[in-house]
Structure formats: C-alpha cells, structure tokens
Amino acid sequence: MRSTTVLIALFFACIAGCSSAELINVTQAQYDKIKTKMTEKEVIEILGDNYKILMETSIGGHSSKTIQWANSEESVAVISFVDGVVEAKSSSMLPK
C-alpha cells in the first residue's frame, strides 16, 4: 500500500511539473511588442492563439473586445480592442 501511495504521489508531481512548464503562453518580451493601433491579427501573431475572450460588444456601429492571454491566474496579459485595433493593454507578473 505504501509503495502505491508513493507511486501516485510521484505521478501527480510529474504531471504538475510538466504542466507548469507548458503554461508559459505569453512573456513580457512578447507583451512589450504590442502597441496601440495594432490590429487584432497582428497581436495574435505575436501572442499566439491560446487566449480567452473576456468581453465582446458592439454598440452604435463600433465594436470592442477584451482578450486575455494567461500563464496562470496571476500571470496574464489583457488587450482591449476597439474597432479591431489595440486601444489599451495591461499585464501582471509575466515571465521575461
């Protein structure tokens, strides 16, 4: 029984270690390349397509969309687009 418990613990430790290595979706260097007025397509080319749309609206002929790229709950980049171009950006705890 003890050896089974140890094997299970090692298995989950390996999964956790492997998963954390794969969680780097966006870095500070990538984020720094993002400039206002870039298109959504240009941003996705830099940051990749592993993102989550947080908000999307269309009012009075104008559209807005906020997209998040995340490494973890604390390590994120958030880009806001108005009419398809970057209007604002923010980040927290991105790796270099």
User: Considering its fold, how many domains does the chain have in total?
Assistant: 1
**Mean pLDDT, rounded, of the chain:** 84
Residue 43 lies in a domain: yes
| pTM for this model (two decimals) | 0.76
- CB-based contact 80:89 (threshold 8 Å): yes
For residue 39, being part of any structural domain is answered with yes
Q: Tell whether 44 is covered by a domain.
A: yes
Looking at the domain assignment, is residue 17 inside a domain? no
CATH number (domain holding residue 46): 3.30.1450.10
Contact between 43 and 30 (Cβ < 8 Å): no
Q: Write out the two tokens for 44.
A: 């996705």
Token duo for residue 86: 């970057």
In a domain, 8, yes or no: no
Domain extent for 54? 25-92
**Cα separation of 31 and 47, whole Å?**
7
3-17 pLDDT, tens digit each? 444 334 444 444 344
Q: Is residue 82 part of a domain?
A: yes
